[in-house]
């Protein structure tokens, strides 16, 4: 038996229409799992999603959105037993200019939606007498702050603790909860800033021990591992995927 195989599993990957979520969905499918992808808008162009996967559109800012998404995913894949909570957003402005709107939108999407996604997933698995695994997508921003990123950083720090507290809450049910914490990854969100400022990009490349900006695919293997039987004795842990960005204090000059 291949301990890294997900051939007997089915997974819901939220925020998987692009970027890190899409890469994780491809990784989960390549490991053998059936995959339900999710996004806010219409499905990506043909051929972008993993082969054989299905796509659901759901606004997770809707109070009933998380439960509705889990129910819809189960209707498509009744064997659903894996969940990747990747959906999130960045809406920050400078701290002194931040108002309740930015705070509430960020916390509702990055924290509340993920909390209730896991709850809805766990309730459904309990009703079916089934075990499972969850991977939350946090960030190195959950450990180290970034300029003009106070609300986002706070939300990602909350996911670090959510990983631990939900791992404890769901251990009796046989559901493992872990998270990946990506560092600087080239995504549709970060690419404009990286491509538009060569000095900044070169600075980051010097700070990262591996000397390059990460790709979404760099996060896929970590998520697949944490979902797989190979990680069967791992729960409540945060796996940093940053090429060594947070290891050194100063970086190369």
- Is the pLDDT reported for residue 97 higher than 80? yes
Per-residue pLDDT tens for 27-38? 999 999 999 999
Mean pLDDT, to the nearest integer, of 87-91?
Answer: 96
Residue 92's domain comprises 10-187+216-241
The catalytic position among 152, 155, 179, 204 is 152
The reply to whether 207 belongs to the active site is no
Cα-Cα-Cα-Cα dihedral sign, residues 240, 244, 247, 249:
negative
The reply to whether 156 belongs to the active site is yes
The reply to whether 55 belongs to the active site is no
Domain count, the chain: 1
pLDDT range class, residue 209, cuts 50, 70, 90 = very high
In a domain, 79, yes or no: yes
**Alpha-carbon distance 121 to 90, whole Å?**
25
φ, ψ (nearest 5 deg) of residue 156 = -75, -30
More confident residue, 200 or 118: 118
Does pTM surpass 0.75? yes
In a domain, 174, yes or no: yes
- Is the pLDDT reported for residue 192 higher than 90? no
Predicted pLDDT at 190: 86
In a domain, 139, yes or no: yes
Predicted pLDDT at 213: 96
In a domain, 141, yes or no: yes
- Is the pLDDT reported for residue 252 higher than 90? no
Domain at 149, CATH number: 3.40.50.720
In a domain, 221, yes or no: yes
The catalytic position among 139, 149, 179, 228 is 139
Predicted pLDDT at 76: 98
**Alpha-carbon distance 100 to 90, whole Å?**
14
In a domain, 60, yes or no: yes
Per-residue pLDDT tens for 229-240? 999 999 999 999
- Asked if 221 and 26 touch (Cβ cutoff 8 Å), the reply is no
The catalytic position among 16, 55, 156, 207 is 156
């Amino acid at each position: 038996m291949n301990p890294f195989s997900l051939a007997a599993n089915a997974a819901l990957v939220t925020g998987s229409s692009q970027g890190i979520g899409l890469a994780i969905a491809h990784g989960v499918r390549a490991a053998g799992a059936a995959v339900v992808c999710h996004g806010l808008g219409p499905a990506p162009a043909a051929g972008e999603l993993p082969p054989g996967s299905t796509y659901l559109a759901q606004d997770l800012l809707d109070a009933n959105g998380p439960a509705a998404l889990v129910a819809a995913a189960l209707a498509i894949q009744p064997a659903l037993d894996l969940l990747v909570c990747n959906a999130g957003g960045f809406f920050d402005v400078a701290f002194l200019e931040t108002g309740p709107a930015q705070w509430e939108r960020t916390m509702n999407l990055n924290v509340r939606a993920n909390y209730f996604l896991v709850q809805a997933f766990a309730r459904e698995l309990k009703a079916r007498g089934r075990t499972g695994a969850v991977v939350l997508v946090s960030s190195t921003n959950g450990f180290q702050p970034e300029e003009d990123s106070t609300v986002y950083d706070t939300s990602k720090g909350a996911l670090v603790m959510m990983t631990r507290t939900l791992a404890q809450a769901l251990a009796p049910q046989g559901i493992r909860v872990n998270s990946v914490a990506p560092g600087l990854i080239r995504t549709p969100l970060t690419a404009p800033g990286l491509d538009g400022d060569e000095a900044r990009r070169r600075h980051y490349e010097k700070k990262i021990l591996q000397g390059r900006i990460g790709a979404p695919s760099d996060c896929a293997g970590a998520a697949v591992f944490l979902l797989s039987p190979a990680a069967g004795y791992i729960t409540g842990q945060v796996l940093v995927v940053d090429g060594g960005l947070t290891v050194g204090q100063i970086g190369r000059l």
